[in-house]
Amino acid sequence: MAISWNLPSRVLSIGLMIAAAWQASVARVGAEENLKAPASSTWEGYSRSDFKVDGRPCILVAPHTAAKGRPWIWRMEFFGHEPQADLALLSKGYHVAYMDVQNMYGAPVALDHLDRFYDELITKHHLSRKAVLEGFSRGGLYSLNWAARNPTKVACIYNDAPVCDFRSWPAGRGRGKRFDADWDALLRVYGLTEQKALQYEGNPVDNLAPLAKAKIPLLHVCGMDDEAVPFEENTGLVAKRYEQLGGEIKVIEKRGVGHHPHSLKDPTPIVDFILIHATADAGSDLLQ
């Protein structure tokens, strides 16, 4: 006996089939993008590879000769901005890595992408199992949140004028200015209402215990007149709480300096901190 469909049911069925085919096509294209050979170029005189992981653009810059254990520094945001420390580390055999997860503000969906990038770097590029994380400005949300999720995979963290509490920036609920577009985008990517966001307990300032337990050393370089990301609401609070948890943190205070410029003209204190805390880990965690 033939089955007779009415028109709405037939249209619905066709629509579902089209949607399923489109989703399969998108997944296939994403997989194909990930499998494409990296595009090669140079960056500041070093070999640079551009490729995709999990559908996100990625960069890996290689030193002329890799140091023992293949150590690396992971720039979480603003690749290439004030790269003094990155360049100094490249000259000492470190790789520099970056994945574009812009406008995700360290949310869980961003951390999922970063997890897959990390796996790619240690399995296919054979980098050290312990990364040096580098968070500039809002990049602090990524570095500190990813470290809290993956404390055994971090050698140390260098943050520069970092956002450590999104209620401070971009919400502007303290001394700093509110950034409406960023705040609205952050709420969307976290899936939070404003009320829920203000009660959120996953900000770095409230989630330092996993880092302290893993004994991850922190270095924060901050302008003390930062009006966008006020010191006392971000690094100042992190330093106080991290020390109370028994964690090690060093803060380099730049008097008379605001949010910019980032880094230090002479990055030696940054580089020395990283070399002291990361090189031994890189050597001991070399993949077999």
| CA separation for the pair 34, 99 (Å, rounded) | 13
Q: Which residue has the tokens 């302290």?
A: 212
The pLDDT value given to residue 35:
59
Please indicate, yes or no, whether the overall pTM of this predicted structure exceeds 0.95. Answer: no
Task: Considering only residues 2 and 150, tell me which one the structure prediction assigns the higher pLDDT.
Answer: 150
* Tens-place pLDDT, residues 72-93: 999 999 999 999 999 999 999 9
Give the tens place of pLDDT for each residue, 152-167.
Answer: 999 999 999 999 999 9
CA distances from 141 to 18, 145, 230 (A): 39, 6, 15
- Specify the pLDDT at position 37: 80
Classify residue 284 as exposed, middle or buried by CB count within 10 Å of its CB (0-12, 13-18, 19+): exposed
- Round to whole Å and give the CA distance between 272 and 112: 31
Q: What integer best gives the mean pLDDT of the chain?
A: 90
**Average pLDDT, stretch 177-184?**
97
Report the pLDDT value the prediction gives residue 33, as an integer from 0 to 100: 55
Q: What percent of the chain has pLDDT over 90?
A: 83
Is 13 a residue whose pLDDT tops 80? no
User: Apex CA 285: angle with CA 79 and CA 63, to 5°?
Assistant: 40
**Average pLDDT of the segment spanning 184-205:** 98
- Say if residue 45 is exposed, middle or buried (CB neighbours under 10 Å; 0-12, 13-18, 19+): exposed
Q: Decide if pLDDT at 9 tops 70.
A: no
Query: What is residue 32's predicted lDDT score, i.e. its pLDDT?
Result: 55
Which residues in the chain belong to E strands, given as ranges?
39-43, 46-53, 56-62, 72-75, 95-99, 131-136, 154-160, 218-223, 249-254
- 247-273 confidence digits (pLDDT tens): 999 999 999 999 999 999 999 999 999
CA pseudo-torsion sign 74, 240, 272, 260: positive
- Domain ranges in the chain are 1-35, 38-284
If one looks up domain 38-284 in CATH, what number appears?
Answer: 3.40.50.1820
pLDDT tens digits along 96-131: 999 999 999 999 999 999 999 999 999 999 999 999
